[in-house]
Structure 1
Amino acid sequence: MDRLLANGTVNAAQTGEGPPLFLFHSLLSDRASFDAIVPKLETSFRTIAPEMPGFGRSRAVEGGLAAVADRMAEAVQDAAGGAPSIVLGNGYGGFVALQMAIRHPGIADRLVLADCGAAFSEPGREAFRNMAKISREKGLEAITDVAMRRLFAPDFQAQHPELMRGRREAFLRTDPDVFCAACDALAGLDLRAELAGVQVPVLVMVGEHDEATPPPMSRELAAGLPRAELKIIPGCAHVPQLQSPQQFLGTLERFLR
C-alpha cells in the first residue's frame, strides 16, 4: 500500500505490522532493491520503503543532501507518529540516513547503514564528478554500464540477466537532474567531524567486494560512531540485500533482536 508522507511530498510503500522500519534506497537503484527482504521483515515490522526525493512519485528538493535529509526526517516523523523507529539506508540512502540522524537527534532509535560512509576518498569523489559530467553531456545511458558495475560484480551480472535488466531499467528511470545533484553532493560530503553526535546504536554493513563505497569507508564510519558495530557481508558488492538476501537478513536480525 502506497501512502504520501511529509505533506504529500514523499511517496512510500507500507506493509506489515509492528515497530516502524524505514528502508532508504541507493542512488543507482530504487525501492524495489528491498523487495527480496521485505517479505521477511514485514512479519515483525511495519516496513516503510519511501521513494527518495526526486525518485518515482516523490517530489525533488533543492539544497543538497541536508535538504534531502530534512525532507526524509519529516517523512519519518509523519509515518512513525512518535513510535520508536529504525532506519536502514543503503548507499545514497545510508548517507541520507546518517545526515538525518546528525541533523535530527532522536529521529531514530537505531540505524542500519549499509554500504556508505562519512566521506569519500579523492578517487571516490572524482568518480562522482565524472558520472555527473558524463550524464550532463550524454545522458544516463552513457554511464549505465559504470552504474551497474558499481552495484554488482561482473560475475553476478552474468549469472542474473533478468535481475540486471530490471536494475538497468530502474536506473534509466532516474531523473538526470536529481542524479547529477546527488553526485555533486556526495563528491563534497564529509560528515566525519559530526559522527560523535550520533548516540544511537548503529549497525554498519558493507559488501566485501563493494567498489562504490569500499569496506575502508565503512571501517572509518564505524570507528567514528560512538555505538557502532561493523559487519562485512562476504561475496557481496554494493547492494547485498539483493545479492544475498539471506545473509543480509541474518546479520540484520541479530542487530534488531
Structure 2
Amino acid sequence: MSRRSAITAGIAAGAVVGGVVGRAVLNARRRAHDPEARERLSALPPEDLGPVRSFDGTELTVRASGSASEPVLVFAHGFSLDLTAWHYQWTELSGRFRCVTFDFRSHGRSGRAANGDLSPSAFGHDLAAVIDAATGQGPVLVVGHSMGAMAILAMAETRPDLVAERVAGVAFAGAAAGDLLRGAMGSLTSLLRPRLGSLGEAARRVDHLRRHVLSSRIDVGHLVARVTQFGPHASPHVVDHVVALAAGAPSEVWTDGLARLMDLDLRHAVRHVRVPALVLVGEHDRVTPPATAVALASELPDGRLEVIEGAGHIPMMEAHDEFNRRLGRFADEVFA
C-alpha cells in the first residue's frame, strides 16, 4: 500500500471510529436526560388470556388490560418484537378501551411455530385465532405494526368472513402491502442478494450480521437501531428495549421469517379490507418509507393517511402520546 493510500485509509478509519465514538457520547448524554428511563417497558398487561392455539396448534401468549365491557382494541406487533411494543398503548388507553395484546408464533413468550411455519399466512391465522378466542363476540378494531399490519392483510385474504363479521376498523403503523425491498432492511437484503443468489441466503447473512453487531463490545446495536428504526429524538431507553427484543428473537425469525416477508406481496388483499382504515407512518420511517404508506392508504377502499412528525418506524413507542391521540380519536369514530 502506498503512503498516500495508507494515509487515506487511516483518515477514513479515523472518521468511522470518530463517528461511532461521537454517537456513543451523544447517546450517553441522551440517556442521562431520558424522560422514559424509568418506564418499565417489559411489564405485561395484567390479564392472562392464553394460551390460545392457532390453526396448526402453535400456542400463543395473549394478555389484556381494561374492562371487558369497553370497546376492544387488538394489537399485533412487528417483526422480531413482542407484545411489549404496545406498552404505551395498553397502559394509557385501557381506561377507555379493552386492550388485547399477543405474541406471534416464535416471538416473545409464544411457542415456536409448529412445523416451522413462519409464513405471512400463518401470522394472519395467529391474529384470527386471537380474535376468535380472546375478544368476546362484539366488534374489534385491529392495530398492526409492520409485520402485524401484514398479518391483518393476510387475515383479510384467508378469513374474509371474520373481517366482515367482527372487524369494525383497522389501523396500520409502519406498514406496506408489498415491495419491502424499498426499505432499510430490504436495501441491506437487496445488497447481499446478488452475491448469495436467493432471499433465503441473504436473510441468513442478515442474521449473521445481526448476531455480530449484537455481540460487539461497542454499543453498535443501539446505534444501528437508532439510525434504521427511529427518528432523531427517540428515547435511548426505548431504543435499548427494541434492541433487546431483536436480540432475543430466534434465528429462524431472522432467516426464514425475514425471507418470507421480503418476498411478500399482499397488495391483492387490500381490497378485502372494506372497513375504515387509518394508516400511520413516521416522518423518518426508513424501513417502510412514507411513500409506501401513501400507496397503501390510496389502495384501501376507506383509508386515510396521517404522518407523525419526528417519528421513525416504531411511532407507537417513540411518539406514543401523539400516536395514542390519533389512534384514540380514530377508535372513537369507529365505535361511535
So what's the TM-score if we normalise by structure 2? 0.70
Confirm or deny that 1:199 pairs with 2:274: yes
The corresponding residue for 1:3 is 49
The corresponding residue for 1:152 is 230
- In the alignment, the residues of structure 2 paired with residue 14 and residue 224 of structure 1 have an alpha-carbon distance, to the nearest angstrom, of 32
- In the alignment, the residues of structure 2 paired with residue 121 and residue 164 of structure 1 have an alpha-carbon distance, to the nearest angstrom, of 22
Confirm or deny that 1:114 pairs with 2:173: yes
The one-letter code sitting in structure 2 at the alignment partner of 1:170 is L
SS in 2 for 1:37: helix
SS in 1 for 2:264: coil
CA contact (8 A) 2:105 2:111 kept: yes
Does the C-alpha gap of structure 1 residues 138 and 246 become closer, same or farther in structure 2, counting only changes over 3 Å? closer
- In the alignment, the residues of structure 2 paired with residue 248 and residue 139 of structure 1 have an alpha-carbon distance, to the nearest angstrom, of 29
Displacement, 1:182?
Answer: 2.2
The one-letter code sitting in structure 2 at the alignment partner of 1:151 is Q
Instruction: Provide the aligned length of Structure 1 versus Structure 2.
Output: 254
Confirm or deny that 1:162 pairs with 2:237: yes
The corresponding residue for 2:65 is 15
Confirm or deny that 1:46 pairs with 2:106: no
SS in 1 for 2:50: strand
2:81 alignment partner, one of 20, 26, 29 = 29
The one-letter code sitting in structure 2 at the alignment partner of 1:13 is R
- In the alignment, the residues of structure 1 paired with residue 81 and residue 233 of structure 2 have an alpha-carbon distance, to the nearest angstrom, of 16
- In the alignment, the residues of structure 1 paired with residue 155 and residue 226 of structure 2 have an alpha-carbon distance, to the nearest angstrom, of 27
The one-letter code sitting in structure 2 at the alignment partner of 1:51 is D
2:188 alignment partner, one of 124, 127, 130 = 127
Does the C-alpha gap of structure 1 residues 148 and 28 become closer, same or farther in structure 2, counting only changes over 3 Å? farther
1:214 alignment partner, one of 282, 285, 289 = 289
The corresponding residue for 2:44 is none
Does the C-alpha gap of structure 1 residues 163 and 176 become closer, same or farther in structure 2, counting only changes over 3 Å? same
Gaps of 5+ in 1: none
CA contact (8 A) 1:139 1:176 kept: no
- In the alignment, the residues of structure 2 paired with residue 223 and residue 163 of structure 1 have an alpha-carbon distance, to the nearest angstrom, of 31
Does the C-alpha gap of structure 1 residues 40 and 161 become closer, same or farther in structure 2, counting only changes over 3 Å? closer
The one-letter code sitting in structure 1 at the alignment partner of 2:275 is V
Q: Percent identity?
A: 25
Displacement, 1:139?
Answer: 5.1
Gaps of 5+ in 2: 1-46, 193-201, 215-220
CA deviation string 1:62-115 (max 9, x = no partner)? 151111211221121111232211110111111112221232123322100111
The one-letter code sitting in structure 1 at the alignment partner of 2:230 is F
Displacement, 1:133?
Answer: 2.9
Q: Which runs of 4+ in 1 moved over 4 A?
A: 128-131
Confirm or deny that 1:233 pairs with 2:316: no
CA contact (8 A) 1:150 1:212 kept: yes
CA contact (8 A) 1:135 1:142 kept: no
The one-letter code sitting in structure 2 at the alignment partner of 1:16 is G
SS in 2 for 1:54: coil
SS in 2 for 1:83: coil
Q: Greater helix share, 1 or 2?
A: 2
- In the alignment, the residues of structure 2 paired with residue 237 and residue 139 of structure 1 have an alpha-carbon distance, to the nearest angstrom, of 20
Displacement, 1:6?
Answer: 2.9
